[in-house]
Chain A
Amino acid sequence: MSIPLYACVYAAEFPVQTLLRLHPELRSVPVGVLDGKPPQQVVCSINRAARLAGAECGMTKLEAEGIPQLRLSLRSHESEAAAHRVLIECAANFSPRIEDARTGTWPEAACACVLDIAGTERLFGPPQTLAHRLREALHAAGFRASIAIGANFHATRLKAASSTGIALISAGEEAAALAKLPVGALHLEEDDARTFAIWGIRTLGELAALNEVDLVTRMGQRALQYRALARGELPHAFQPIEPKFALEEFCDFETPVDQADSLLFVAARMIDCLVARAAARALSLASLTLRMALEGGRVQESAIRPALPTADRKFLLKLLQLEIAAHPPSAAVVSLALTAQAGQSSKVQLGLFAPQTPEPSRLDVTIARLKAIAGEYRVGSPALEDTHRPGAFRMEGFSAVGASGAAKTDRPRIALRRMRPPLPVRVVLRDEKPAAFRDREKRFEIEAAYGPWKTSGCWWSEESWDAEEWDVLAEVDGATLVCLLVRDCARDQWRLEAMYD
């Protein structure tokens, strides 16, 4: 049986790290995060610059506002949840067995997870190399975390929480590694902490040196657990979580944003993160859903679907820009969420003799621009409806991928030019055939009329139609026109539906 080996990742001050991850320009600025409901808001997390400026966790908002240059922001649990998913996903690149170590007595403002890294030496090298690579990966994802590696689960947890860099605990030396940590690191109950204070026990080393029987006699069975923790001997049944791969990013704005440029600035960073996370799994983004929470409680959602999955952030950002330009938010945006669907990286097999088709990514941008010009539902490919209704069609999305070639037709067919909407006309009948018709301006003399062609359908619904079609040769101003006249039998109305051209 192999020796167990754990690596604990501890990201302190997680609320402020979540904020700085999306706003890296604030890293050198004192920043604090407020938690709670007004007027009882308190500072729950601060960065190093804020600590140097004199800020402390637990300060009230009024006290914090008294510190010059300290930027205060409201805590966003959605952003933290999204950032936590990213951290877990980053750690999952090193081990599939991860246990979330946030539960229990851990401070709420920290994020921690423990990786089971036993047997990964051949993949990532010795534990120290793995720790460095893990820390670099977390750094690239925007997190500052301390890492402890050891054979005991709880020992690595305690060590990671109290160190700032990388700590390695050799097997059998857990007690020595934890000896200098304060007893408070165990997050004792209040009575127990007071008891240890009365006894003069301040460090875990002093706690570990106490006699087991005497300790249990005075404090009960829970003291046994404290002592085992302090000696790094408490066993643990590893409970791995199954990290769900979800490409989601969330950003809560301090103040509502009403400018598209500001939205795009934040969205660009979020797209960067999504692309990097997908690329880590050799994937691309197949679709991107934009969810904007607006002032007043409304939510606006739109989606971008490139023709092929892509990892080109500039291209995705351009599509997002065109989407926002086409559907601007109706009110200021309070929060922005981006959700992506992963897809296999696009591979297009080009043939030497295959006809040239538009480049998919460029075509997406072109179609988005065309939609901005002509309208959302006025650009695409027509598709015939499965109905006998004359002129029925629907618009579908256009994609040049997989163009196979049209069927061969021999003779050219006379084409119709439809009038949308049809032109109402007055028709003069002779022998039950149209003899002339007139619109608002001109009178058309009919030379020959062919018909009627009766058509009807959908009698069971409101979309029913019942019409007579006449192909007529009409003369006006010396010119001959070939028109399609339609009589709506239900309303007894005539209209000029189309012209043969």
Chain B
Amino acid sequence: MPSAALLRMQIEQALERRFPAALSPAPQALRETAPTGIAEVDKLLEGGLPIGAISEVTGPECSGRTSLALKFLGRRMQVGHVCAWVDVQDALDAESAAANGVCMKQLLWVRCSGERIGQKKDGKPWARLDQALRATDLLLQAGGFAAIVLDMGGMAAEYARRIPLATWFRFRQAAQRTQCSLVVIGQRACAQSSADVVLECKLVRANSDTETVLSGIRYEVRRERARGWGGGELEHGFQRKSESDSSAETPVPACGNLYAFTSRSGAAQKLGYADAEDAPAKTLSFAPRLSDAPESPFCESSPDRRKPPVSTWSAAGAWDREKRA
């Protein structure tokens, strides 16, 4: 079996005329960031969400993902940027957006309908997802949008995981070219190696002092991945150790950004382009422990390098409740 490096060289030579250095990532300068408008999260991210990259905001429902994304858009719009919201489940609340500082005239809202002529409704979100991905692709290719939010927050994680890696790779390239921050809201991380930042949100506390006004809601944000931070090159180190046992598959030694792994029977199952850290967690049984991982800037802010950095932030209650109370 040819080595990964040899394969990469052969593929790049074959595509050289149309795509020079197709599988070699372009050297990156210092990554720019844009503040989210939430001080705690900005501190955690050392500035904010990256510009020209994919950021994933994950977590279960009611974990503050939408509030965070809306606040980020509101912050971007303060200086006159235009943004887009691709809504898979048609769940965006315009009043919430306005309360978080989003200027309606600067927001392009794509409400996926999931209706197709001649197709029966089967309750599955494939049509919506297809529409959302095509819309995101168009918006990224058009350029000029400072931030695009792909909202898959209401969709089960197993559907989002079916999005091909090639799609995320294309989105990453387009976002990088147009300097657009693509924020993906989902229940689980699905962009794999293409995401520069993965945040996991969680509802911590929602107790109220009064009987009528819901307030005191706090969210916890955990930084699961932060790549390309200030280093000038892509980080290839492993961020975390797999929590699940993945003895079912034995990886083939990877080289560079190509990885291949085979099942125990030895048959090749998958060959993709990704950083080694981007392989699904369960396949990284060979990953070194964090103590063995190369020095990585994103870990510097965390006193305990075995745990990803965590921060908590609080959101004010519903905009009309306090007023009416």
CA distance A379 to B318 in the complex (A): 27
Output the least CB separation between B20 and chain A (Å): 26
Q: Which among A373, A380, A420 has the highest number of chain B CB atoms within 10 Å?
A: A373
Answer yes or no: A186 CB below 8 A from chain B CBs: no
Known: A375-B115, A409-B100, A416-B93. A403 touches B61 (CB 8 A): no
Stretch in contact with the other chain, from A168-176, A310-318, A477-485:
A477-485
Stretch in contact with the other chain, from B10-18, B72-80, B262-270, B280-288:
B72-80
Q: How many residues of A contact B (CB 8 A)?
A: 62
Cβ B214 vs Cβ A471 within 8 A: yes
Known: A378-B111, A501-B64. A391 touches B95 (CB 8 A): yes
Known: A480-B203, A481-B62, A482-B206. A413 touches B315 (CB 8 A): yes
Answer yes or no: B97 CB below 8 A from chain A CBs: yes
Cβ A381 vs Cβ B109 within 8 A: yes
Cβ B206 vs Cβ A480 within 8 A: yes
Cβ A358 vs Cβ B79 within 8 A: no
Cβ B101 vs Cβ A408 within 8 A: yes
Give per-residue flags for A230-264: 1 if the beta carbon is below 8 A from chain B beta carbons, else 0.
00000000000000000000000000000000000
Answer yes or no: A362 CB below 8 A from chain B CBs: yes
Answer yes or no: A355 CB below 8 A from chain B CBs: yes
Known: A403-B105, A481-B61. A500 touches B217 (CB 8 A): yes
Residues of A within 8 A of B104 (CB): 381-384
Of the candidates B79, B142, B318, which one forms a contact with A366 in the assembled complex, judged by CB atoms under 8 Å apart?
A: B142
Answer yes or no: A82 CB below 8 A from chain B CBs: no
Output the least CB separation between B262 and chain A (Å): 36
Known: A380-B109, A382-B109, A500-B217. A393 touches B203 (CB 8 A): no
Output the least CB separation between B156 and chain A (Å): 13
Residues of A within 8 A of B63 (CB): 501
Answer yes or no: B135 CB below 8 A from chain A CBs: yes
Output the least CB separation between A395 and chain B (Å): 8
CA distance A343 to B80 in the complex (A): 26
CA distance A384 to B317 in the complex (A): 20
CA distance A384 to B319 in the complex (A): 14
Cβ B95 vs Cβ A384 within 8 A: yes
Cβ A374 vs Cβ B142 within 8 A: no
Answer yes or no: B82 CB below 8 A from chain A CBs: yes
Give per-residue flags for B66-105: 1 if the beta carbon is below 8 A from chain A beta carbons, else 0.
1110110010011111100000011111111111111111
For chain B, the bracket of interface size reads 35 or more
The tally of CB-CB contacts under 8 A between chains A and B is 224
Output the least CB separation between B205 and chain A (Å): 9
Answer yes or no: B108 CB below 8 A from chain A CBs: yes
Residues of A within 8 A of B38 (CB): 412
Answer yes or no: A473 CB below 8 A from chain B CBs: yes
Cβ B144 vs Cβ A370 within 8 A: no
Cβ B93 vs Cβ A417 within 8 A: yes
Known: A366-B139, A384-B104. A356 touches B179 (CB 8 A): yes
Give per-residue flags for B121-149: 1 if the beta carbon is below 8 A from chain A beta carbons, else 0.
00000000001001100110011111000
Of the candidates A375, A390, A411, A482, which one forms a contact with B113 in the assembled complex, judged by CB atoms under 8 Å apart?
A: A375
Residues of B within 8 A of A448 (CB): 207-208
Answer yes or no: B251 CB below 8 A from chain A CBs: no
Answer yes or no: A405 CB below 8 A from chain B CBs: yes
Of the candidates B97, B109, B206, which one forms a contact with A415 in the assembled complex, judged by CB atoms under 8 Å apart?
A: B97
CA distance A446 to B71 in the complex (A): 29
CA distance A359 to B80 in the complex (A): 15
Residues of A within 8 A of B169 (CB): none
CA distance A362 to B208 in the complex (A): 49
Cβ B91 vs Cβ A418 within 8 A: yes
CA distance A231 to B203 in the complex (A): 101
Cβ A405 vs Cβ B203 within 8 A: no
Residues of B within 8 A of A414 (CB): 64, 67, 96, 217, 315-318
CA distance A450 to B146 in the complex (A): 38
Known: A398-B108, A405-B78. A355 touches B208 (CB 8 A): no
Answer yes or no: B308 CB below 8 A from chain A CBs: no
18 A-B pairs with CB atoms under 8 Å apart are A362-B143, A363-B142, A373-B131, A380-B108, A381-B105, A381-B108, A384-B94, A390-B95, A399-B105, A400-B106, A405-B79, A409-B74, A412-B68, A413-B99, A413-B317, A414-B318, A417-B91, A500-B318
Which residues of chain A have a CB within 8 Å of any CB of chain B?
354-359, 362-363, 366-367, 369-370, 373-375, 378-384, 390-391, 393, 395-396, 398-400, 403-409, 411-420, 448, 450-451, 453, 471, 473, 479-483, 498-501
